[in-house]
Structure 1
Amino acid sequence: MNNELLFQQIQKKRSFLCVGLDTDIQRVPKNLLNAADPVLAFNRKIIDATADYTVAYKPNIAFYESLGWKGWHTLEKTVEYLKSKYPEIFLIADAKRGDIGNTSDLYARAFFEKLDFDAVTVAPYMGEDSVKPFMNYTEKWVVLLALTSNEGAADFQYLKNEESGDQLFESVLKTSQNWGTPENMMYVVGATKAEKLKEIRQIVPDHFLLVPGVGAQGGSLQEVAKNGMNSHCGLLVNSSRGIIYASGEKDFAKKAGEAAKAVQQEMELLLKEKGL
């Protein structure tokens, strides 16, 4: 999926919501635990309940890896379900990969060829040769970690280069623009760092930003939109726990749909305010 098609979906659905499929087997409602694959059954119901309100889904790979080969099978089946029933929806593998070139090449092959994701999150710490293999695929995306929402982000991401005066996350943004374009690279910027979005937009005005941290982590959707939205929206705002665990009972899918709809309605107003 290219930049323009993604923007068209945002306009059509009046939403820039990304739902995180961070499905923990320990939080799957009891009425699904007798299913052949409880996580897959949960995912399908969540997807069907929220698909009208979201433009992207983002499975966090750790939730599937933790289940061994069965988890990988569940992930594969989840992607197949989305591709067959909702082919217009953007799929992000939240894998945070990044290694030497030949290893990254295999990671890219896994997520783009074997699993057919549209995008994968990548850590930039090892530099250009660890990122480039992911960019050898047409209409596939790298989502590069820039400024994350966790408390430990302060350990390294704000360190200042004495020569340039740039903080580390600013160096990532500036240097990586030589690696990709707004057509194949996005950046992760945590919603809890919404005050930094104005600065970030000065460096990367045209790129999409994947913004986790709205909802359970306390990020403000209004602040994110105010400081981060551009003329093509340029935002995918992720909510995971706040939507998929809106209820832990038999009505979990219904409640997830209601939560997603509420976020979409707020996003519609924000898009309208921007004239989009």
Structure 2
Amino acid sequence: MTTEQLIHQIKFKKSFLCIGLDIDLTKIPPHLLELEDPIFEFNKTIIDATHDLCVSYKPNTAFYEAYGIKGWQSLQKTINYINEKYPKIFTIADAKRGDIGNTSSMYAKAFFEDLNFDSVTIAPYMGKDSVEPFLAFENKHAILLALTSNEGAFDFQTLESNGKELYKHVLETSKKWKNAQNLMYVVGATKAEYFSEIRKIIPNNFLLVPGVGAQGGNLLEVCKYGMNSDIGLLINSSRGIIYASNDIDFAQKAREEALKMQLEMEEILENYFS
């Protein structure tokens, strides 16, 4: 998917919501556990109930890898279902990969060719040759970890070198890489006060923003400092939507929570572009 197509979907749906499909078998409705593939059945039902309210789905691969080959098969069935039934949805493999060049090339082939995701999250620590293999794919995107929402982010990401925080070095350096126009960045909603500084460095790139909802991030604050003329934000919510209920009504409750966020986003967009 091109960036322009993503922007079109955001404006069409009046939403920049990304729903995280982080599936834990101990949290899904018990009646699904009787089915042959409860992970896929849960995902399929959530997707069918919310696809018109969001522009993106983000499975975190750890929640599938934990169940071995069956979990990976559930992931493949999930991405195939989205691509076949809702092809205008932007898909994110939250895999946090990044290794030496030839290994990254194989990771890129796995997620972009075999699974056919639109994007994958990447750890930047190993530098240019670990990221550029992901950027070599046409209309695919690498989403670089920049300033994450977890408490441990302050261990390294905000450390200063030559008077500048590490995350700023990551942003500035990555802009020089080949096909950097295909880069997006992870910036946690719990770090809303940093968005103004981030936008000075990367004014045009999309930001994937976790941490709204369960982790305490504020949507209005993120949009105030992080939104650009192309919207430029994908706001992720996982637990707050998909686990709104673990009863027979789980899909309806998930839709209700997604609708709350979509309506809030619609109001923000109307005010921002009025």
The answer to whether the 8 Å contact 1:146/1:188 transfers is yes
Match of 1:219 in 2: 217
For the residues of structure 1 that align with 2:130 and 2:164, how far apart are their CA atoms?
A: 22
For the residues of structure 1 that align with 2:25 and 2:125, how far apart are their CA atoms?
A: 31
Match of 1:194 in 2: 192
Aligned residues: 274
Match of 2:82 in 1: 82
Deviations 1:218-238 (A, max 9, x none): 100000100100000000000
Q: CA deviation at 1:28?
A: 1.3
TM-aligned CA distance change 1:142 to 1:101, over 3 Å: same
Q: CA deviation at 1:181?
A: 5.3
- Report the AA paired with residue 39 of structure 2: V
Q: CA deviation at 1:262?
A: 0.6
Match of 2:253 in 1: 255
Q: Secondary structure at the match of 1:186?
A: strand
Match of 2:129 in 1: 129
Q: Secondary structure at the match of 1:236?
A: strand
| Runs of 4+ that moved beyond 4 A | none
**Larger deviation, residues 172-181 vs 96-105:** 172-181
- Report the AA paired with residue 177 of structure 1: K
Unaligned runs of 5+ in 1: none
The answer to whether the 8 Å contact 1:182/1:206 transfers is no
For the residues of structure 2 that align with 1:58 and 1:92, how far apart are their CA atoms?
A: 5
Pick aligned residue for 2:264 from 241, 263, 266: 266
For the residues of structure 1 that align with 2:239 and 2:178, how far apart are their CA atoms?
A: 31
For the residues of structure 2 that align with 1:63 and 1:26, how far apart are their CA atoms?
A: 12
Match of 2:226 in 1: 228
**Larger deviation, residues 173-182 vs 257-266:** 173-182
Q: Secondary structure at the match of 1:263?
A: helix
The answer to whether the 8 Å contact 1:194/1:219 transfers is yes
**Superposition pairs of residues 116-155 of structure 1, within 5 angstroms:** 116-155=116-155
Match of 1:209 in 2: 207
Q: Secondary structure at the match of 1:178?
A: coil
TM-aligned CA distance change 1:136 to 1:182, over 3 Å: closer
For the residues of structure 2 that align with 1:219 and 1:135, how far apart are their CA atoms?
A: 30
For the residues of structure 2 that align with 1:191 and 1:181, how far apart are their CA atoms?
A: 27
- Report the AA paired with residue 71 of structure 2: G
- Report the AA paired with residue 257 of structure 2: A
Q: What is the TM-score of this pair, normalised by structure 2?
A: 0.99
The answer to whether the 8 Å contact 1:2/1:183 transfers is no
Match of 2:29 in 1: 29
The answer to whether the 8 Å contact 1:15/1:264 transfers is yes
Q: CA deviation at 1:183?
A: 3.7
For the residues of structure 2 that align with 1:78 and 1:234, how far apart are their CA atoms?
A: 26
Deviations 1:67-107 (A, max 9, x none): 00111100000001001110000000000000000100000
Instruction: State the Cα RMSD in Å.
Output: 0.9
For the residues of structure 2 that align with 1:98 and 1:272, how far apart are their CA atoms?
A: 38
For the residues of structure 1 that align with 2:4 and 2:59, how far apart are their CA atoms?
A: 23
Deviations 1:41-87 (A, max 9, x none): 00000001110100000000000000001111000000010011100
- Report the AA paired with residue 159 of structure 1: L
Unaligned runs of 5+ in 2: none
Q: Percent identity?
A: 61
For the residues of structure 2 that align with 1:182 and 1:138, how far apart are their CA atoms?
A: 12
1:184 equivalenced with 2:182 (yes/no): yes
